[in-house]
């Protein structure tokens, strides 16, 4: 029988995980805890409360734990899954709000801290960093959402079966949105609230988390959207070199002379730009072939 589960990656959350599990049990059939190598008694508490526990012997990272959440959902034949943080930042009482759109045909529901004018309690520096990551995620091929880094989401059966994470770090949230677009998952956002006044929060510091996620997204863009990453900058460079060449020829025709520095710059821009254009086109063809092979393999 298909069930609804709440799944949470956990790392040294013994001080708060009991409250999160108890809160989730009110709204789902089963709670799954993916323990990512905790050194405290997180596992003992989770098991004592009847949670289905998956253990990592060592700390593998948020993405690896999230990957196990999806694998466990498939193993339990879950019809719906809510991913929620185990550190108490999210309110389990908002779970029904995320599950409701799944009944109306949506495959992915994102709990957003910013939709409908929400997010007044979010620190300014976090808002700025999140907006940068939102734009980068969309440019890399993801969905256009207001909160790409939200860890509070609900997934229907199609999403559970389709999403297969490769990364192990905090960029997994963006990777899911990229895969959601690849698989044409129907998505929506609902308003949620998030606490930032908690002590002993396991979240990575935003000044470390943000640049690390952005770098990973840019690497994904290099692989997934080489036309944007290589061909577009190459076209700009080659066009600049070409226009400089026309200007130099005009000056020379009117009796001027060619200066070595600007002329060398023109040649370099044109050659490097042309090389980047063709590199982007070739990588685009290769990435499409890899993507189609992955699609065939998963079918």
218 phi and psi angles, rounded to 5 deg: -65, -35
10 Å Cβ neighbour count for 260?
7
When pLDDT is averaged across residues 191-212 and rounded to a whole number, the result is 63
Among the ranges given (97-106, 149-158, 262-271), the one the predictor scored with the smallest mean pLDDT: 262-271
**pLDDT tens digits along 37-57:** 999 999 999 999 999 999 999
Dist. CA 124–CA 135, nearest whole Å: 17
Residue 238 has pLDDT above 80, yes or no: yes
Beta bridge partners of 194: 90
Higher per-residue pLDDT: 224 or 130: 130
DSSP assignment of 258-293: --HHHHHHHHHHHHHHHHHHHHHHHHHHHHHHHHHH
Whether residue 220 has pLDDT greater than 70: no
Query: What b/e sequence results for 157-190 when a residue is b if at least 16 CB atoms lie within 10 Å of its CB, and e otherwise?
Result: bbbbebbebebbbbbbbbbbbbbbbbbebbbbbb
E-strand ranges in the chain read 3-10, 30-36, 52-56, 78-83, 108-112, 153-156, 187-191
Return d(Cα 199, Cα 251) in angstroms, integer. 67
- Identify the top-confidence range among 35-39, 143-147, 279-283, 284-288: 35-39
The residue assigned the tokens 């290769």 is 286
Q: Are 55 and 75 in contact (CB under 8 A)?
A: no
In order, the DSSP letters of 78-121 are: EEEEEE--TTS-B-GGGHHHHHHHHHTT-SEEEEESSGGG--TT
Of these ranges, 92-96, 139-143, 179-183, the one predicted with the greatest mean pLDDT is: 92-96
Mean predicted confidence (pLDDT) in 273-277 = 87
CATH 3.50.50.60 fits domain 3-191 = no
Q: What's 151's DSSP letter? A: S
CA 209 to chain centre: 12
* Contact present, 63 and 168 (Cβ < 8 Å): yes
Mean pLDDT taken over the chain: 84
pLDDT score, position 24: 97
- Average pLDDT of the residues in 94-117: 93
User: What is residue 41's predicted lDDT score, i.e. its pLDDT?
Assistant: 95
């Amino acid at each position: 029988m298909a069930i609804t589960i709440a799944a949470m990656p956990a790392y040294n959350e013994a001080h708060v995980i009991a409250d999160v599990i108890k809160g989730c049990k009110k709204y789902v059939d089963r709670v799954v805890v993916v323990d990512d190598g905790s050194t405290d008694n997180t596992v003992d508490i989770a098991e004592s409360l009847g949670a289905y526990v998956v253990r990592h012997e060592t700390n593998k990272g948020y993405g690896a734990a999230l990957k196990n959440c999806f694998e466990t959902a498939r193993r339990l034949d879950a019809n719906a899954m809510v991913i929620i943080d185990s550190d108490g930042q999210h309110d389990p009482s908002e779970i029904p709000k995320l599950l409701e759109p799944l009944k109306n045909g949506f495959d992915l529901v994102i709990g957003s801290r910013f939709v409908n004018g929400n997010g007044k309690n979010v620190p300014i520096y976090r808002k700025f960093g999140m907006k940068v990551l939102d734009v980068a995620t969309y440019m890399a091929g993801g969905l256009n959402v207001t909160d790409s880094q939200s860890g509070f989401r609900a997934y229907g059966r199609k999403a559970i079966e389709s999403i297969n994470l490769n990364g192990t770090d905090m960029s997994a949230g963006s990777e899911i949105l990229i895969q959601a677009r690849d698989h044409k998952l129907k998505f929506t956002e609902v308003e949620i609230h998030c606490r930032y006044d908690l002590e002993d929060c396991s979240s990575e510091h935003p000044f470390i988390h943000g640049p690390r996620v952005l770098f990973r997204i840019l690497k994904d863009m290099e692989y997934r959207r080489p036309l944007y990453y290589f061909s577009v900058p190459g076209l700009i460079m080659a066009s600049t070199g070409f226009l400089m060449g026309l200007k130099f020829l005009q000056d020379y025709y009117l009796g001027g002379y060619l200066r070595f520095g600007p002329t060398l710059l023109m040649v370099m821009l044109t050659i490097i730009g042309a090389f980047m254009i063709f590199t982007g086109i070739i990588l685009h063809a290769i990435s499409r072939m890899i993507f189609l092979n992955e699609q065939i393999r998963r079918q």
